[in-house]
Amino acid sequence: MRALIQRVTEASVTVDGAVIGQIGPGLLVLVCAMQADDAAKSATLAAKISKLRIFADDSGKMNKSLLDTGGAALIVSQFTLAADTSRGNRPGFSQAAAPDLGRALYQQFISDVDALGIPTATGSFGADMAVRLTNDGPVTIWVEV
């Protein structure tokens, strides 16, 4: 699984003009399931993201995790993270999981993050979403398991 995480002071997802998910301080997690992914990879990704020390401690150093800070996660499905741009000008997405598997692993990932005690909000799998965020830092990190 792949994720692009952004440390945020706030983030939200809107579908058809209605906000369906929003958080205050925490992480915006754009997540993509790949063809060979399974529930074990979802759990590994959730654990890794929850423990990344990318939040400031009292000295201003990135030394605290999402678990340490009590922040929230806004989890948004993003199949375009599977883009292959190695040839031509049109990205290929053949390595992304099929929609049924992608949906199942997206839901599994949400459950895995929630099970760690992290407050979660979500986007809507397959929907045309408007994502708004205030990137904190900015801190943006690519994570793959």
- Residues (pLDDT < 70) of the chain are none
Per-residue confidence (pLDDT) for residue 114, from 0 to 100: 98
Active site residues: 78-80
Helix or strand run (H / E) with residue 30: strand 26-32
* Pair of tokens at residue 72: 């929230």
Three-state secondary structure along 49-84? Answer: HHHCCCEECCCCCEEECHHHHCCEEEEEECHHHHCE
What local confidence, expressed as pLDDT, does residue 58 receive?
Answer: 96
Please state, in angstroms and rounded to a whole number, the distance separating the CA atoms of residues 51 and 143. 12
> Quick one: fold of 2-144?
D-tyrosyl-trna(Tyr) Deacylase; Chain: A; (3.50.80)
Question: Distance (Å, rounded) from C-alpha 113 to C-alpha 111?
Answer: 6
**pTM listed for this prediction:** 0.96
Residue spans of the domains in the chain: they are 2-144
- Tell which residue, 129, 130, 128, 108, has the closest CA to residue 120: 108
Q: Give one DSSP letter per residue of 70-135, joined into a string.
A: T-EEEEEE-GGGG-B-SSSSS-B-TTBPPHHHHHHHHHHHHHHHHHTT--EEE--TTS--EEEEEE
Preceding amide of 138 cis, omega within 30: yes
- Cα 76 from chain centroid? 6
Predicted local confidence at residue 18, as pLDDT: 98
What pLDDT does residue 34 have? 98
